[in-house]
Amino acid sequence: MTMLLDSTGKAAWEARSSGNIHIAEEVYYRNANFFLDSNSSIKTDITQSLSSMLCPLDFRTKGVTRTGFYQKRIGAQKLNKTIKNQLKTNIPSVKFEVEFKEGVFFDTPRTGGFDFAIYDDHFNILNFWNYCFGRRAIHNGNDRWTEELNKRIDWKNIATTNSLDQLPIGTDLVTKKTCPIVIGEIQFANWGLLYYDILKAVHIEQFVDIDLLVYVTATGDLASYISTGTVNFNNAKEALEEMKNSIKVPIWLIGIDLT
**Rounded to two decimals, what is the model's pTM?**
0.94
Q: What pLDDT band is residue 1 in, cutting at 50, 70 and 90?
A: low
Question: Would strands 114-118 and 95-101 be described as parallel, antiparallel, or unpaired?
Answer: antiparallel
Residue % of the chain over a pLDDT of 70: 99
Other C-beta atoms within 10 Å of 216: how many? 28
Contacts of 212 (CB under 8 A, 6+ apart): 32, 35, 36, 42, 180, 181, 182, 183, 249, 250, 251, 252
- Domains, the chain: 18-101+180-258 (3.40.91.20), 120-178 (no CATH)
User: Which of 138, 128, 84 is closest to 105 using CA atoms?
Assistant: 128
Q: What pLDDT band is residue 2 in, cutting at 50, 70 and 90?
A: low
Q: What pLDDT band is residue 164 in, cutting at 50, 70 and 90?
A: very high
Contact 231, 187 (CB under 8 A): yes
